[in-house]
């Protein structure tokens, strides 16, 4: 089974849906991640329609439900989307599930106000991959997007690199500096208005609020 194949398994989806709620440490981490995503969403300004991609099992759907947004939940895995249905009762209007890739979203230009793309781009080693995803988000959004990335200046990232070197392994999580990420977003047609870290210089995950440039 490849790295991506596991997400297309009903067994793994059932495990994953509760993975981040097991143990005090994971529950605290999930709570903090939802807080920084919410802060980044607020920085975009008023938005009512949002694409959550990749939505997975709906880890951030509770955040979107609090904002009373109309949501499209999209993922490459039908199995993960179905597992995420446990969050749908939080919504007045349940999310609309769509199976799609973040590289090719089957939506018209500016068809939603904003997009949330969390825990995806750190899996891409190449800048052009991250730029391609953000360019597609810029295309379908009227206002902008919230995109999370891993900060290369964080202590956790430096520890991860040391572990890789000791074991001689190539990881599937890649970090960039804040400047590098902002430059990539600009190339995709998005300007960074704010960044929100779990714990600056310690935790890797950072949520960036990105708005469409005027020339787009």
CATH number of the domain within which 194 lies = 3.40.50.150
Q: Do 175 and 111 form a contact (C-beta atoms < 8 A)? A: no
pLDDT on residue 1: 44
Q: Do 72 and 95 form a contact (C-beta atoms < 8 A)? A: yes
Convert the pLDDT of each residue in 115-129 to its tens digit: 999 999 999 999 999
Q: How many domains does the chain have?
A: 1
Query: What are the structure tokens assigned to 119, written together?
Result: 């825990």
Convert the pLDDT of each residue in 6-62 to its tens digit: 766 767 676 677 776 777 878 888 899 999 999 999 999 999 999 999 999 999 999
Helix axis angle for 178-187 and 127-140, nearest 10°, is 50
Convert the pLDDT of each residue in 49-103 to its tens digit: 999 999 999 999 999 999 999 999 999 999 999 999 999 999 999 999 999 999 9
Q: Which domain holds residue 159?
A: 5-212
Per-position DSSP letters for 52-82, written without gaps between them: ETT-TTTTTHHHHHHTT-EEEEEES-HHHHH
Query: What are the structure tokens assigned to 111, written together?
Result: 């068809």
How many angstroms separate the CA atoms of 153 and 10, rounded?
Answer: 36
Distances (CA, A) of 21 to 15, 17, 30, 195: 11, 8, 8, 25
Query: What are the structure tokens assigned to 109, written together?
Result: 């230009």
Q: Do 102 and 134 form a contact (C-beta atoms < 8 A)? A: no
pTM across the whole model: 0.90
């Amino acid at each position: 089974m490849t790295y991506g194949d596991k997400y297309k398994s009903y067994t793994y989806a059932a495990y994953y849906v509760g993975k981040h709620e097991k143990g005090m440490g994971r529950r605290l981490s999930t709570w903090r991640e939802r807080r920084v995503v919410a802060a980044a969403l607020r920085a975009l300004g008023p938005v009512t329609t949002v694409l959550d991609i990749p939505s997975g099992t709906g880890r951030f759907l509770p955040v979107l439900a609090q904002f009373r947004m109309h949501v499209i939940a999209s993922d490459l895995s039908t199995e993960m989307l179905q597992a995420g249905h446990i969050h749908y009762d939080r919504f007045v209007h349940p999310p609309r599930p769509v199976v799609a890739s973040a590289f090719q979203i089957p939506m018209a230009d500016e068809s939603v106000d904003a997009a949330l793309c969390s825990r995806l781009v750190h899996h891409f080693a190449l800048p052009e991959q991250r730029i391609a995803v953000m360019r597609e988000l810029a295309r379908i959004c009227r206002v902008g997007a919230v995109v999370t990335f891993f900060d290369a200046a964080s202590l956790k990232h430096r520890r991860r690199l040391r572990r890789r070197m000791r074991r001689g392994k190539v990881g599937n999580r890649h970090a960039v500096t804040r400047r590098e990420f902002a430059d990539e977003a600009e190339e995709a047609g998005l300007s960074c208005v704010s960044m929100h870290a779990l714990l600056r210089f310690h935790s890797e995950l950072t949520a960036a609020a990105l708005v469409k440039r005027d020339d787009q």
